[in-house]
């Protein structure tokens, strides 16, 4: 089990644990990497067990928050991937009914719920418990004295690997490749009962049949789930990241008291700080705040702010950082805290230095991002910003309802963009021969132009620049011509006409031109050499679909050029120096 977990650390590595059933259920877990856990646990025996590597989303990395989680009687043991969105009311009710919890995780409600419904049949108890659960999950349940593991999935991957008088369950193929290449993929809603010799399935209360597949991957290939690079895998994970990040909390609860005060006319100003790709999320955030709350807001580069940033009285700061370790962001937070400002962090890493310094941390549920180029973490950051700002939006109820609906549909819209990958890859083949590529956008898609250029330059080494389209004529025009292709992001908002004018100007100067437009918008058909359509969404959400196109474009250009996509030269994933 520990060997298998070692191959799953790319999914999470802040803590891990295993549970084994023999004369009792023994649990060994801690906030350590798998290799360290391996050294720390005593020799023991057992032929049934479950294990987990964690990437914290609810509760910091710690021994008690690590999986497996057990019910009160230490008889039901569970590992869980995903997010239980309604864990708070479930937990409250279970506590009232006498259940004692030991962790801060959402996952711990699952063993308690199963325990509550257990009346001699573990599979039935799991089925009943899951009926109460809202959210995403892949779970494996082990009951004391049982000879079967019960597994279930919804919106989180889970596989069964078949062996000779032994069977395995795992969240991904790399875990089990040393032992088997015969795999069954669970489907949403499946509940599987797995013993050493038998596997059976139920779905929607009826028994179901699932097909066995042969896996031909090496361990290294499998770690990327068959994708050639982590970056591509992470791009494709984005629909799930969106689902997990927005979950069910859309307009529940009180996300940020400080914003409430501001939206009610407090004296504060809002400052959003970040670096690199996270700064582009901050810039998009600025447009979202202006549009939805109509409040004064600044988006600043943390590295500049540290030297020149003026802190206005009563500033509420939001620091955005995937790693939570970026030195410039840490310095900025210290500077703000020194003068008594409140700082809210949006980060992907619980327990990171930024999350420890900030007054409040909101976690993006992107999961570990291995590729140096940020992709899914950016989209997750945007999701958090949409959620926060939509909660306090001062817009007509009709528009509010439409925005909520569209946000809920965002995962499928991104999946639609991913379906266009081969078309985008075709375009990439054309663009890969150029040495300079320009991206232009306006309004909320100006930061998307910057992000498209950043993504391209860092992984393909092509010189790329993003411009606010209206600025071209103030200098960059001098560069345009047949060797300088331009990618124009056209949005169906107040900027549409002006953008068309800019695109005509580009074309008149002989630059090859590709445009990103909404489905049904044929306004660039006669102007552009290539037109990529994206699903129609409210302009406020257009950065999400447009960015995914530009991520794929950068990826495929870099691939054509044979670049080391996941680990570009001179770059590090966490920038811990000023
Ligand atoms: C670009 C990229 C970097 C990071 C930047 C900030 O793809 O990954 O520009 O966005 O170094 O990092 P975090 O978000 O960890 O603070």
Report which ligand 1 atom has the smallest distance to the Cα of 373.
7
Cα dihedral sign for 195, 155, 256, 345?
positive
- Pick the more confident residue, 415 or 314: 415
pLDDT class for 253, splitting at 50, 70, 90? low
Residues with CB under 6 A from ligand 1: 275-278, 321-323, 326, 329, 373-374, 454, 458, 575
Burial of 446 (0-12, 13-18, 19+ CB in 10 A): buried
Phi, psi of 509 (to 5 degrees): -95, 10
Strand 149-154 versus strand 159-162 pairing type = unpaired
Q: What pLDDT sits at residue 218?
A: 74
**Going by C-beta distance under 8 Å and a sequence separation of 6 or more, which residues neighbour residue 122?**
76, 114, 141, 143, 146, 148, 150
CA 275 to ligand 1 centroid distance, Å: 6
pLDDT class for 155, splitting at 50, 70, 90? confident
Strand 315-321 versus strand 269-274 pairing type = parallel
CA 37 to ligand 1 centroid distance, Å: 31
As a whole number, the mean pLDDT across the chain is: 93
For ligand 1, atom 5: residue with the closest CA: 276
Beta bridge partners of 467: 440
Average the pLDDT over 452-458 and give the result: 98
Report which ligand 1 atom has the smallest distance to the Cα of 377.
14
For ligand 1, atom 4: residue with the closest CA: 276
Q: What pLDDT sits at residue 156?
A: 85
pLDDT class for 577, splitting at 50, 70, 90? confident
Query: Could you say which DSSP state residue 187 is in?
Result: P
- Of 235, 277, 372, 450, which is best to mutate to test ligand 1, by the most ligand atoms within 8 angstroms of its C-beta? 277
CA 573 to ligand 1 centroid distance, Å: 7
Average the pLDDT over 272-297 and give the result: 96
CA 181 to ligand 1 centroid distance, Å: 37
Highest mean pLDDT among 35-49, 170-184, 456-470: 456-470
Domain boundaries, the chain: 2-221, 226-408, 416-567
Q: Do 24 and 74 meet the contact criterion of CB atoms below 8 Å apart?
A: yes
For residue range 192-238, list pLDDT tens digits in order: 999 999 999 999 999 999 999 888 777 777 778 889 999 999 999 99
Is residue 322 predicted with pLDDT exceeding 80?
yes
CA 373 to ligand 1 centroid distance, Å: 7
Instruction: Kindly report which listed range (181-195, 235-249, 259-273, 484-498) carries the lowest average pLDDT score.
Output: 259-273
Q: What pLDDT sits at residue 349?
A: 86
Is residue 267 predicted with pLDDT exceeding 70?
no
Q: What pLDDT sits at residue 259?
A: 81
For ligand 1, atom 3: residue with the closest CA: 276
Average the pLDDT over 571-577 and give the result: 77
Q: What angle do CA 104, 187, 157 make, to 5 degrees?
A: 45
CATH superfamily name and code, 416-567:
Glucose-6-phosphate isomerase like protein; domain 1 (3.40.50.10490)
CA 401 to ligand 1 centroid distance, Å: 33
Q: What pLDDT sits at residue 248?
A: 58
Average the pLDDT over 475-482 and give the result: 93
pLDDT class for 573, splitting at 50, 70, 90? confident
Q: Do 281 and 385 meet the contact criterion of CB atoms below 8 Å apart?
A: yes
% of residues, the chain, pLDDT over 70: 98
% of residues, the chain, pLDDT over 90: 76
For ligand 1, atom 9: residue with the closest CA: 276
For residue range 363-383, list pLDDT tens digits in order: 898 988 889 999 999 999 999
Is residue 252 predicted with pLDDT exceeding 70?
no
SS3 194: strand
* CATH architecture of the domain with residue range 2-221: 4-Layer Sandwich (3.60)
Report which ligand 1 atom has the smallest distance to the Cα of 347.
14
CA 567 to ligand 1 centroid distance, Å: 13
State how far the alpha carbon of 170 is from the alpha carbons of 215, 290, 323, 414, 422, in Å.
Answer: 14, 45, 27, 26, 30
CA 371 to ligand 1 centroid distance, Å: 11
- Pick the more confident residue, 90 or 12: 90
Beta bridge partners of 361: 345
Q: Do 134 and 85 meet the contact criterion of CB atoms below 8 Å apart?
A: yes
- Pick the more confident residue, 578 or 147: 147
Length of the chain: 578
Average the pLDDT over 451-471 and give the result: 97
What is the Cα–Cα distance from 40 to 29, expressed in whole angstroms? 10
For residue range 217-226, list pLDDT tens digits in order: 777 777 788 8
- Pick the more confident residue, 313 or 137: 137
Average the pLDDT over 492-505 and give the result: 96
Bond from prior residue into 5 cis (ω within 30 degrees of 0)? no
Radius of gyration of the chain (CA): 25
Average the pLDDT over 389-407 and give the result: 92
Q: What does pTM read for this prediction?
A: 0.85
Q: What pLDDT sits at residue 264?
A: 79
Average the pLDDT over 449-474 and give the result: 97
Q: What pLDDT sits at residue 405?
A: 94
- Of 374, 381, 384, 551, which is best to mutate to test ligand 1, by the most ligand atoms within 8 angstroms of its C-beta? 374
What is the Cα–Cα distance from 143 to 3, expressed in whole angstroms? 23
pLDDT class for 91, splitting at 50, 70, 90? very high
CA 199 to ligand 1 centroid distance, Å: 44
Is residue 546 predicted with pLDDT exceeding 70?
yes
Average the pLDDT over 28-34 and give the result: 95
For ligand 1, atom 11: residue with the closest CA: 276
Cα–chain-centroid distance for residue 556? 21
- Is 416-567 the same fold as 2-221? no
CA 230 to ligand 1 centroid distance, Å: 16
Is residue 249 predicted with pLDDT exceeding 70?
no
Average the pLDDT over 127-149 and give the result: 95
- Of 276, 376, 578, which is best to mutate to test ligand 1, by the most ligand atoms within 8 angstroms of its C-beta? 276
Taking domain 226-408, whether its CATH number is 3.40.50.300 is answered by: no
């Amino acid at each position: 089990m520990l060997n298998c977990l070692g191959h799953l650390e790319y999914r999470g590595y802040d803590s891990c644990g295993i549970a084994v059933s023999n004369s009792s259920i023994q649990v060994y877990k801690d906030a350590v990497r798998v290799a360290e856990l391996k050294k720390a646990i005593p020799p023991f025996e057992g032929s049934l067990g479950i294990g987990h590597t964690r990437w914290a989303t609810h509760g910091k990395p710690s021994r008690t928050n690590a999986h497996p989680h057990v019910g009160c009687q230490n008889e039901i043991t569970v590992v869980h991937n995903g997010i239980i969105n309604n864990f708070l009311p479930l937990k409250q009710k279970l506590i009232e009914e006498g259940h004692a919890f030991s962790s801060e995780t959402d996952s711990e409600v699952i063993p308690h719920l199963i325990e509550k419904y257990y009346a001699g049949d573990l599979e039935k108890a799991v089925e009943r418990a899951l009926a109460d659960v809202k959210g995403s999950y892949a779970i494996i349940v082990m009951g004391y004295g049982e000879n079967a593991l019960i597994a279930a999935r919804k919106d989180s991957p889970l596989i069964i690997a078949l062996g000779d008088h032994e069977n395995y369950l795992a969240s991904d193929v790399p875990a089990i490749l040393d032992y088997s290449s015969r795999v069954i993929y669970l489907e949403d809603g499946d509940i599987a009962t797995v013993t050493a010799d038998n596997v059976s399935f139920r779905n929607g209360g009826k028994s179901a049949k699932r097909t066995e597949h042969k896996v031909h991957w090496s361990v290294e290939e499998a770690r990327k789930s068959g994708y050639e690079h982590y970056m591509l895998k992470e791009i494709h994970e984005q629909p799930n990241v969106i689902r997990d990040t927005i979950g069910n909390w859309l307009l529940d609860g009180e996300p940020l008291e400080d914003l409430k005060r501001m939206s009610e006319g407090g004296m504060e100003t809002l400052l959003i700080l970040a670096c690199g790709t996270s700064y582009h999320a901050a810039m998009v955030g600025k447009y979202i705040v202006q549009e939805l709350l109509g409040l004064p807001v600044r988006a600043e580069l943390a590295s500049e702010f540290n030297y020149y940033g003026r802190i206005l009285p009563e500033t509420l700061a939001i620091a955005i950082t995937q790693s939570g370790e970026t030195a410039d962001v840490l310095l900025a937070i210290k500077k703000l805290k020194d003068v008594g400002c409140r700082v809210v962090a949006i980060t992907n890493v619980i327990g990171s230095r930024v999350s420890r310094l900030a007054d409040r941390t909101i976690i993006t549920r992107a999961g570990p991002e291995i590729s140096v180029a940020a992709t899914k973490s950016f989209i997750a950051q945007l999701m958090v910003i949409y959620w926060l700002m939509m909660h306090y939006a001062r817009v007509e109820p009709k528009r509010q309802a439409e925005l909520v609906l569209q946000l809920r549909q965002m995962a499928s819209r991104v999946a639609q963009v991913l379906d266009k990958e081969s078309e985008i890859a075709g375009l990439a083949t054309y663009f890969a021969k150029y040495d300079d590529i320009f991206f232009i956008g306006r309004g909320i898609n100006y930061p998307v132009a910057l992000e498209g250029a950043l993504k391209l330059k860092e992984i393909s080494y092509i010189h790329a620049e993003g411009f606010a389209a209206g600025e071209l004529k103030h200098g960059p025009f001098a560069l345009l011509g047949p060797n300088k292709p331009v990618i124009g992001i056209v949005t169906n908002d107040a900027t549409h006409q002006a953008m068309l004018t800019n695109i005509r100007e580009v074309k008149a100067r002989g630059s090859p031109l590709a445009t990103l437009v909404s489905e049904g918008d044929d306004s660039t058909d006669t102007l552009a050499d290539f037109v990529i359509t994206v699903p129609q969404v409210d302009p406020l959400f257009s950065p999400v679909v447009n960015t995914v196109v530009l991520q794929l474009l950068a990826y495929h250009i870099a691939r054509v050029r044979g670049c080391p996509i996941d680990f570009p030269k001179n770059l590090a994933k966490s920038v811990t120096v000023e």
